[in-house]
Amino acid sequence: MANPLGSFGLKPVRHIDGSPWNGQTVKCYISALYGTALFVGDPVLLSPTLTEKESTGKYPTINASDGLSGSLIRGVITGFEATNRDSLVYSPALTEAYAYVCMDKDVVYEIRGDGGAALTAVVPGQNAVMIATSAGDTNYGTSGFDLDEGTTTSPDTTQGFSLHILALKNAEDNALGINAVYDVLLNTAELAAGRFLGITAA
């Protein structure tokens, strides 16, 4: 049976030690000057642009991460703060907003493969990059990011790839083949090293 379709980006499901993810997140700021829409499941990093910074300094200011080889990821968007009854389920470009971001480096995420190739049982333990299959779903607010199964970059042992594949999601409707759902860790998490290269916005 073919795997279901549908991008959803990165979805936190548990910790690497098997304990449940408790839903803890960090409230982050998105500047009205930032020209990219953001969605639930998108990988993000700290904004390097001074004019975008939140004025009180109390909330990290985020931009999208492309999830490609060598790209740092600070965390993953899990939701947005609703400011009124007409608030959208995503953050449109050039719109001030607040997002909730999972920044725990030990969280395991689920992500769907993009359909680029049917991966085999050798893939657990390999690394992979992300691919933006779509811009994101403005009706449901979900990310358009997938795991690149080989459309542009096949999984392999490259250390700089953004995701580390732990295994296939253990579910009856999920099987080795195109569009499988994988359990992954952030392989280029900004907060994984323990000592950080500081970032100064310009």
DSSP characters over 88-119? -SSB-TT--EEEEEE--TTEEEEEEB-SSS--
Measured distance CA(111)–CA(165) in Å, rounded: 10
pLDDT reading at 150 higher than 90 = yes
The per-residue pLDDT for range 58-91, each reduced to its tens digit, is 999 999 999 999 999 999 999 999 987 778 899 9
Cβ atoms < 10 Å from Cβ of 142: 21
Instruction: Please answer whether residues 80 and 101 qualify as being in contact, where contact means their C-beta atoms are separated by less than 8 angstroms.
Output: no
Measured distance CA(44)–CA(34) in Å, rounded: 13
The per-residue pLDDT for range 184-201, each reduced to its tens digit, is 999 999 888 655 666 778
Measured distance CA(110)–CA(102) in Å, rounded: 13
pLDDT of residue 2: 86
pLDDT of residue 201: 83
The average pLDDT across 122-130 equals 97
pLDDT of residue 1: 65
pLDDT of residue 191: 85
pLDDT of residue 28: 98
The per-residue pLDDT for range 6-65, each reduced to its tens digit, is 999 999 999 999 999 999 999 999 999 999 999 999 999 999 999 999 999 999 999 999
Contacts of residue 117, Cβ cutoff 8 Å, sequence gap at least 6: 149, 150, 151, 154, 178
**162 pLDDT band (50/70/90 cuts)?**
very high
The average pLDDT across 180-186 equals 97
**CA angle (74 as vertex; 53, 136 as ends), nearest 5:** 85
**108 pLDDT band (50/70/90 cuts)?**
very high
**146 pLDDT band (50/70/90 cuts)?**
very high
> What's the Cα-to-Cα distance from 137 to each of 3, 141, 198, rounded to whole Å?
20, 5, 34
Instruction: Please answer whether residues 84 and 10 qualify as being in contact, where contact means their C-beta atoms are separated by less than 8 angstroms.
Output: no
Instruction: Please answer whether residues 119 and 176 qualify as being in contact, where contact means their C-beta atoms are separated by less than 8 angstroms.
Output: yes
Contacts of residue 107, Cβ cutoff 8 Å, sequence gap at least 6: 12, 13, 14, 15, 16, 21, 185, 186
